[in-house]
């Protein structure tokens, strides 16, 4: 409030006559004195002078000057007006403060009159204090103080001093301080006064803990505690009679007050950096008065519960606007404002609470046979927390922002529900769901789809607008109703939807432009910042306060008054009360929970048809089902494709235990280069689980066994290089397998399979992989990166069951109890004796009797090892391959192979006898005497001499003039078959004498059996003898370093002693037999 400035003294120019008058008076005085001196006493000049002086004085008095009195009178009238205005303003301010913060001793009168008795939540009055007014008197300064008119200036100064302060209530916001600590003899009374003011404030704003709190209905987000100094130090406390710890806390981060009686006045002081500072008179309240206020607040007047209001027929109350406000989602032709709507509200406007109120109210007013909900929360907040327990809730879909796959599932679920409703109507010959329900009550309940944060959903998946548009078009006839909620209105995302949204609910909105776009005016932007304030706009606009269902709902028998002195019962929220009363399972689910992160094998794996294995669960959201997924091997081979760590191996493990349960007596052969499937060896049906070293044997066994059998390859890339023999053989087996009962399952990292192999692998199962490399790209884009999660051959998501060693053991016991025989793949033994060789060779029936053997003209087969595709005795057919080379590193078993061959040749020679048509002669030598004791062994020099004699005899057998029949039967010469056995042949044993005979070796009965070290083999390949015999030779390649090869077309590798490859028409894995004396030597 402003006042005029005080007037200043006048500053007028003096008249000339007034300035001259002093001089005139001086001259007159001097003249009078002169006249008295010079004249006689008879004529006194005084007679003339004094009248003259009086005349001058009168003239001067009549001269014009300033009127100060009038100026003073005018300014004082202004001061009186300002004083009246200030008094009125001060009285209004004091009255307003007294109304906002009434004296605690008068609070009960306000409650009794039904008036508001307190100000803002958490703001409480401390007492009466001298304080500056809201509009202090402002005095403009127009000049220096010495120029002011003194009387007016003093009057204005006195007014300013008397109106500079007022005595009015002083208040404090409790939330601004860690705690409020009060000392002094009036501390308890002031604490009760503060509590009394909180008691009279909104009961939903704060929770009060203190004296007489058993009467209080207060339940708010903030808790204020009133206690003494014995309570532990915590925040939001008002403490009287504090302990030293409380005093330290109050001085550091709280408010420390002192209420001390002085001369009959309760003086109020506050602790500052300069010590105690008195500033007012503290309020006081007795315990009786506080108890009276608390008891008065225990009365709940009237009702604002939506549970006591009528509803039904797709209509329910959602708030109040003097009268209840109903949301009727029926179409306008049936008297409603539906079927679809839009709800927009900024953060903190109460949008989530409004959506809860809609669900709770509609659930309270309708049965599950009349109405179902689909509740969607894109961001996964707590909008619909707990509502899944309602029997009306067909689906609660959350966390769509974090899991893209859920968006696709929701799209399929909604479209599937529309499809099912259309099919049922078509089958019944009806056009609308309402007509169908009249004929079949409760068979097709209305579906209320509420989507929170739909704008974010459309931002991430714009194509979802087509789903909403489809529901908008068909929702009326199918009784499917949409309520889309978001924080902002983005009209560009509502393409195709605007014409279907018949009602709109606006809470407080960010901008006036957005409000006008939503409801045609800026009213939504101008709503108060109170959660729940909203506008319902359809045919008409209604402003209302949304129901609050997350607050306590008093039982009906306590709505009037609680029994005095009784402890209040624990109350539930309106939401909890409705959910607890109605909780039951939904009978019309359209959304099943997403596939589990981990699916245990016992939950899924069951015996099914032969050659079928149940391996997981397939998700079919369009059909609203999750069905077991079976891998059927009866008519197709399967491939499991997935990136590393996607679960291919444990998918195979589950497949094997499923086959073991459902396919008795079907052997299973497993190639497992990583060793992850080793535990499956315990199953009776699993014939073998092998690595790369036994792959060839595995393929041999799987190819030779008759009947149904399963071949599993874990890692097609580990079978061999592109174009390798193993790969080509696998392709041939797979191509013809189904005709012969062979069923193949392979795994791969990518789809870069051979076209000939991919064409026959018609069963596809994809685990997690890059969408660009996938066959099912759309499904892969939304596939979670979880082990065992994949895409079925139908293009749907599935989860493979996780099987453990415990599951394998369980299946083993089940199969053992039903008498399942153990199936084992025969493998090469670690030790193979010559005795076993003789027994198995005799069992083959290939040994002729003595008479027949004596008549034979051809070179005999010589058994020496176990191996081949059928894992049987392997014999060197010296008639077809006259020579045999044994190559390996030191200790690989080359000498053992030669000793076994020599022994077997002696046995054959004994069988034929010396009188046979083709007896057997052996000539053997070596450098290290490893063959000493073998038949025909000679030292080096004697060997050379004997070899020379044999060379001469062989030259005589070279055919000169023979018939073709003689050449075929080798009957133009007589004598023995000559076998030259040389170990360490790379040390030049003198074999060059045979160079001219070697080209005719097959015709003249010469057979070279040579052993060489692999490290020196490459140097000897161009020797004349090697060049002459290599095309007529069979090979035994034993263990050797990789860098020494290849030899005979075989890559070298380190093997166990005696283990190798017999190379003739095709390579065979073998193990060379040895005698007992060799075992003892080792």
Q: Which residue has the tokens 């799209």?
A: 411
Specify the 3-state DSSP secondary structure of 166.
strand
Residue 335 region by backbone torsions, left for phi larger than 0, else alpha for psi between -120 and 50, else beta: left
User: How many angstroms separate the Cα of 844 from the Cα of each of 575, 579, 836, 956?
Assistant: 86, 81, 12, 37
Give yes or no for a contact between 446 and 371, defined as CB atoms under 8 angstroms apart: yes
Specify the 3-state DSSP secondary structure of 1020.
helix
> Residue 961: what are its φ and ψ, rounded to 5°?
-120, 95
**Token digits of residue 656:** 């094997």
* Angle made by CA atoms 737, 741, 745, in degrees to the nearest 5: 60
- Chain-centroid distance of CA 222 in Å reads 33
Q: Does the annotation place 347 within a ligand binding site?
A: yes
Rounded to 10°, the helix 46-61/16-38 angle is: 170
Give yes or no for a contact between 710 and 701, defined as CB atoms under 8 angstroms apart: no
| DSSP symbol at 935 | T
Question: Please, what sign has the CA dihedral across residues 1064, 1065, 1068, 1071?
Answer: negative
How buried is residue 561: exposed, middle or buried, by Cβ count under 10 Å (0-12/13-18/19+)? exposed
- Which residues, 6+ apart, have CB-to-CB distance to 1055 below 8 Å? 892, 1038, 1039
Rounded to whole angstroms, the Cα distance separating 903 from 504 reads 102
Give yes or no for a contact between 532 and 338, defined as CB atoms under 8 angstroms apart: no
**C-beta atoms surrounding 141 within 10 Å:** 9
Candidate list 453, 514, 977, 1078, residue with the active-site label: 453
Rounded to whole angstroms, the Cα distance separating 1025 from 988 reads 11
Question: Please, what sign has the CA dihedral across residues 201, 203, 208, 214?
Answer: positive
Q: Does the annotation place 348 within a ligand binding site?
A: yes
Rounded to whole angstroms, the Cα distance separating 329 from 339 reads 5
- Chain-centroid distance of CA 105 in Å reads 58
Give yes or no for a contact between 731 and 756, defined as CB atoms under 8 angstroms apart: yes
H or E segment at 197?
helix 187-199
DSSP assignment of 26-79 = HHHHHHHHHHHHHS-TTS-THHHHHHHHHHHHHHHHTS----HHHHHHHHHHHH
Nearest CA to 765 among 632, 874, 892, 669?
Answer: 632
Rounded to whole angstroms, the Cα distance separating 854 from 976 reads 11
Rounded to whole angstroms, the Cα distance separating 114 from 9 reads 60
Strands 668-671, 340-344: pairing is unpaired
DSSP assignment of 539-563 = SSEEEEEE---SSEE--GGGSS-PP
Give yes or no for a contact between 254 and 181, defined as CB atoms under 8 angstroms apart: yes
Peptide bond into 432 cis (omega under 30): no
Q: Does the annotation place 734 within a ligand binding site?
A: no
Peptide bond into 403 cis (omega under 30): no
Specify the 3-state DSSP secondary structure of 629.
strand
Strands 166-173, 446-452: pairing is unpaired
H or E segment at 449?
strand 446-452
Question: Please, what sign has the CA dihedral across residues 703, 704, 710, 713?
Answer: negative
Nearest CA to 1037 among 1021, 1048, 1029, 1026?
Answer: 1048
Q: Does the annotation place 322 within a ligand binding site?
A: no
Cross-strand bridge partners of residue 802: 600
**Token digits of residue 216:** 């209080």
Q: Does the annotation place 352 within a ligand binding site?
A: yes
User: Residue 942 catalytic?
Assistant: no
Q: Which residue ranges make up the annotated binding site?
A: 345-352
- What are the residue numbers of the active site? 453
């Amino acid at each position: 409030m402003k006042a005029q400035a005080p007037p200043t003294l006048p500053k007028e120019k003096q008249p000339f006559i007034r300035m001259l008058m002093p001089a005139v008076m001086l001259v007159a005085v001097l003249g009078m004195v002169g006249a008295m001196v010079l004249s006689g006493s008879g004529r006194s000049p005084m007679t003339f002078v004094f009248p003259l002086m009086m005349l001058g004085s009168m003239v001067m008095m009549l001269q014009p000057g300033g009127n100060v009195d009038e100026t003073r009178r005018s300014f004082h009238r202004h001061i009186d007006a300002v004083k009246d205005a200030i008094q009125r303003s001060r009285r209004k301010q004091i009255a307003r403060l007294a109304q906002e913060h009434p004296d605690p001793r008068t609070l009960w009168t306000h409650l009794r009159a039904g008036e508001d008795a307190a100000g803002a939540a958490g703001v409480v009055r401390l007492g009466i204090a001298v304080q500056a007014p809201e509009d202090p008197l402002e005095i403009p300064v127009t000049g220096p103080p010495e120029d002011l008119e003194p009387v007016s200036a003093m009057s204005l100064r006195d007014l300013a001093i008397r109106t500079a302060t007022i005595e009015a209530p002083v208040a404090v916001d409790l939330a601004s301080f860690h705690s409020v600590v009060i000392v002094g003899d009036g501390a308890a009374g002031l604490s009760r006064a503060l509590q009394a003011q909180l008691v009279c404030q909104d009961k939903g704003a704060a929770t009060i803990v203190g004296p007489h709190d058993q009467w209080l209905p207060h339940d708010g987000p903030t808790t204020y505690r009133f206690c003494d100094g014995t309570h532990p130090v915590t925040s939001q406390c008002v403490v009287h009679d504090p302990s030293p710890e409380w005093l330290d806390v109050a001085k550091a981060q709280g408010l420390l007050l002192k209420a001390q009686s002085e001369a009959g006045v309760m003086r109020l002081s506050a602790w500052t950096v300069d010590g105690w500072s008195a500033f007012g008179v503290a309020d006081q309240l007795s315990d009786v008065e506080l108890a009276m206020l608390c008891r008065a607040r225990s009365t709940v007047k009237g009702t604002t519960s939506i549970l006591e209001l009528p509803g039904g027929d797709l209509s329910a109350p959602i708030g109040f606007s003097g009268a209840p406000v109903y949301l009727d989602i029926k179409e306008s032709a049936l008297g409603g404002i539906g079927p679809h709507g839009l709800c927009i509200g900024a953060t903190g406007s109460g949008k989530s609470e409004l959506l809860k109120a809609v669900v709770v109210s509609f659930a309270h007013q309708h049965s599950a046979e009349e109405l179902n909900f689909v509740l969607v929360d894109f961001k996964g907040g707590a909008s619909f927390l707990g509502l899944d327990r309602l029997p009306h809730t067909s689906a609660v879909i959350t966390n769509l922002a974090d899991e893209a796959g859920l968006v696709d599932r929701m799209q399929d679920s909604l479209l599937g529900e529309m499809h099912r409703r259309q099919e049922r109507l078509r089958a019944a010959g009806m056009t609308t769901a309402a007509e169908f329900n009249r004929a079949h009550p409760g068979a097709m309940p209305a579906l209320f789809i509420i989507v929170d944060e739909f704008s974010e959903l459309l931002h991430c998946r714009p194509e979802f607008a087509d789903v909403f548009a489809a529901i908008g078009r068909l929702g009326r006839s199918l009784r499917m109703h949409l309520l889309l909620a978001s924080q902002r209105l983005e009209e560009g995302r509502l393409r195709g939807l605007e014409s279907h949204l018949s009602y709109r609910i606006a809470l407080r909105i960010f901008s006036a432009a957005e409000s006008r776009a939503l409801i045609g005016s800026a009213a939504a932007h101008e709503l108060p910042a109170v959660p729940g304030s909203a506008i319902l706009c359809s045919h008409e606009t209604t402003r209302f306060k949304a129901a609050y269902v997350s607050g306590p709902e008093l039982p009906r028998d306590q709505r009037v008054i609680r029994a005095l002195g009784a402890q209040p019962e624990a109350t539930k929220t309106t939401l909890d009360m409705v959910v607890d009363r109605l909780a039951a399972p939904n009978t019309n689910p359209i959304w099943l929970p997403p596939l589990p992160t981990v699916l245990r094998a016992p939950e899924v794996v069951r015996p099914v048809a032969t050659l079928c294995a149940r391996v997981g669960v397939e998700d079919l959201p369009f059909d609203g089902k999750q069905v077991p997924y079976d891998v059927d091997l009866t008519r197709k081979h399967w491939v499991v494709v997935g990136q590393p760590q996607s679960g291919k191996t444990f998918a195979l493990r589950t497949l094997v235990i499923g086959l073991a349960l459902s396919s008795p007596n079907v052997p299973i052969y497993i190639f497992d280069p990583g060793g992850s499937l080793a535990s499956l060896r315990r199953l009776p049906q699993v014939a073998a689980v092998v690595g790369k070293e036994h792959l060839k044997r595995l393929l041999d066994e799987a190819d030779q066994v008759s009947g149904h059998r399963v071949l599993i390859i874990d890692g097609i890339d580990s079978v061999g290089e592109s174009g390798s023999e193993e790969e080509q053989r696998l392709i041939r087996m797979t191509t013809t397998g189904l005709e012969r009962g062979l069923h193949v399952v392979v795994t791969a990292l990518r789809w870069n399979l051979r076209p000939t192999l991919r064409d026959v692998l018609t069963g596809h199962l994809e685990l997690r992989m890059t969408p660009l490399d996938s066959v099912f790209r759309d499904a892969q884009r939304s596939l979670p990166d979880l082990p065992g999660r994949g895409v079925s051959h139908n293009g749907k998501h599935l989860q493979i069951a996780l099987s453990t060693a415990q599951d394998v053991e369980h299946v083993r016991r089940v199969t053992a109890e039903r008498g399942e025989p153990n199936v084992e793949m025969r493998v090469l033994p670690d030790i193979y004796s010559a005795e076993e060789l003789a027994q198995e060779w005799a069992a083959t029936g290939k040994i002729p009797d003595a008479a027949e053997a004596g008549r034979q003209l051809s070179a005999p087969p010589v058994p020496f090892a176990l191996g081949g595709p059928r894992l049987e005795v392997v014999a060197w057919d010296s008639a077809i391959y006259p020579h045999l080379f044994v190559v390996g590193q030191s200790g690989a078993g080359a000498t053992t192979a030669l000793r076994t061959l020599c022994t077997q040749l002696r046995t054959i020679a004994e069988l034929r006898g010396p009188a046979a048509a083709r007896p057997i002669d052996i000539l053997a030598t070596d450098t290290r005497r490893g063959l000493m004791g073998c038949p025909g062994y000679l030292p080096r020099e004697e060997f050379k001499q004997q070899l020379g004699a044999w060379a001469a005899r062989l030259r005589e057998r070279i055919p000169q003039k023979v018939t073709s029949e003689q050449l075929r039967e080798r009957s133009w010469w007589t004598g023995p078959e000559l076998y030259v056995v040389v170990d360490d042949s790379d040390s030049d044993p003198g074999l060059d004498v045979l160079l001219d005979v070697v080209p005719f070796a097959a015709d003249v009965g010469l057979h070279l059996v040579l052993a060489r070290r692999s490290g020196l083999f490459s140097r000897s390949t161009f020797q004349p003898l090697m060049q002459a015999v290599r095309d007529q030779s069979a090979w035994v390649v034993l263990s050797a370093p990789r860098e020494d090869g290849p030899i005979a077309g075989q890559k070298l590798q380190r093997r166990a002693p005696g283990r190798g490859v017999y190379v003739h028409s095709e390579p065979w894995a073998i193990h060379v037999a040895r005698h007992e004396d060799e075992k003892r030597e080792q």
